[in-house]
Amino acid sequence: MNKLYTHRLFFLFFIFLSNQSIANDYKIAFGSCLDQELPQPIWKTIEGESIDSFIFLGDNVYGDSVDGKLDKMKLAYNKQEKMIPSWLKEKDLFYIWDDHDYGVNDGGLEYKYKKEAQQLYLDFWNSKKDDKRRSQEGTYFNSIINIDDLKLNIIGLDTRYFRSSTKNRQDGYEPLDKENITMLGKDQWIWLYDALLNEADLIILLSSVQVLPTVHQFEKWEIFPNERVKLLNALENIKTKTIILSGDRHRAGIYEYGDIVEITSSSLNKAIADSWYEKLILNLMPKSMQRKFIDPKEYDSLQLEDLVSEVNYGLLKIDAKQRVITSEIKNIDGETIRKKIIGF
């Protein structure tokens, strides 16, 4: 074999290796609604994805505690600590809370023990002593990740601590659009505007409750229409590609509004009517309400496909070189059940 031929082989092999490195995506898995009282086999599937980080989107425990002792919350965290696998704790973890790790179902600013609940929450996640969330009111945060030459801006919202009280009717929540009604509170809004201006190629915005959907009767940004418009205007004005990740619904789906994509993943182990008591409650409901509760066909105008009601997780594969994201919703067997390719 002559030297020229050898050099050509070496050059081709080098090109092959270079292409392989380009193909390595940065992988972020995400999900919500993780009941510490139920088995969590989905972690085995997610481990096989070889992820770089995981985002918990709220209801990371079910520890509703109406009294100041928060005993139920403490027990829930103690049990969940043993359920989360050790391999996952070694990854980069990002987390926001929703009502069941906040402390009260569908709760907002009126919850008396939110300060105590916040410290329990941060203790569970082993947040550092100098973490800003240790000293501020609310659990919102901002983190910049560098992926090769790509800057990823992760913004986590707190949709509980400052949220105005809601009005729940028999057919769902009553939209409230008065001037003093808020989802985030004054301080968090000011902070959010600044966080959105951070230099970045891509923004991932974390909201425990859904932002884009408007049709269903459960909690969502649309129950405060002015706040939803305010957020969407802010995202449109910055011109940076934004993906919203949300949970809460015990359903999964993909939504699109202009250049904004929202991916909802819920639940990691608590599917709709999965437990005996939820099935009992469903059986006691009028038929019309049952259909609204379990039918994944909500037909929201911004919804890309039918919703998923089985146990699921989300996955983002970020190709920093090609500026392409493969977004997927997967079932407990790791099968892709919803998918969208997003360029930026």
> In which domain, by residue range, is 249 found?
26-343
pLDDT per residue rounded down to tens, the chain (344 residues): 555 444 444 444 433 333 333 346 899 999 999 999 999 999 999 999 999 999 999 999 999 998 888 999 999 999 999 999 999 999 999 999 999 999 999 999 999 999 999 999 999 999 999 999 999 999 999 999 999 999 999 999 999 999 999 987 766 787 888 888 999 999 999 999 999 999 999 999 999 999 999 989 899 999 999 999 999 999 999 989 999 999 999 999 999 999 999 999 999 999 875 556 556 666 676 655 655 555 556 779 999 999 999 999 999 999 999 999 999 999 999 999 999 999 99
pTM over 0.95, yes/no: no
CATH number of the domain where residue 46 is located = 3.60.21.70
pLDDT of residue 274: 55
State the pairing for strand pair 168-169/172-173.
Answer: antiparallel
d(CA 109, CA 102): 11
pLDDT of residue 203: 98
**197 belongs to a structural domain:** yes
Q: Which residue has the tokens 């947040």?
A: 127
Which structure tokens are listed for 163? Answer: 């949220």
Q: Which residue has the tokens 């049990």?
A: 79
Burial-class residue 288 by CB neighbours within 10 Å (0-12, 13-18, 19+): exposed
pLDDT of residue 296: 59
**2 belongs to a structural domain:** no
Prior bond of 21 cis (ω within 30°): no
**8 belongs to a structural domain:** no
d(CA 146, CA 274): 39
Which structure tokens are listed for 47? Answer: 């481990």
Q: Are 52 and 92 in contact, with CB atoms under 8 Å apart?
A: yes
Q: Are 38 and 269 in contact, with CB atoms under 8 Å apart?
A: yes
**294 belongs to a structural domain:** yes
**264 belongs to a structural domain:** yes
**Could you give the number of structural domains in the chain?**
1
Q: Assign 21 to helix, strand or coil.
A: helix
Nearest Cα neighbor of 265 from 223, 324, 307 is 307
**17 belongs to a structural domain:** no
Q: Assign 160 to helix, strand or coil.
A: coil
**9 belongs to a structural domain:** no
**89 belongs to a structural domain:** yes
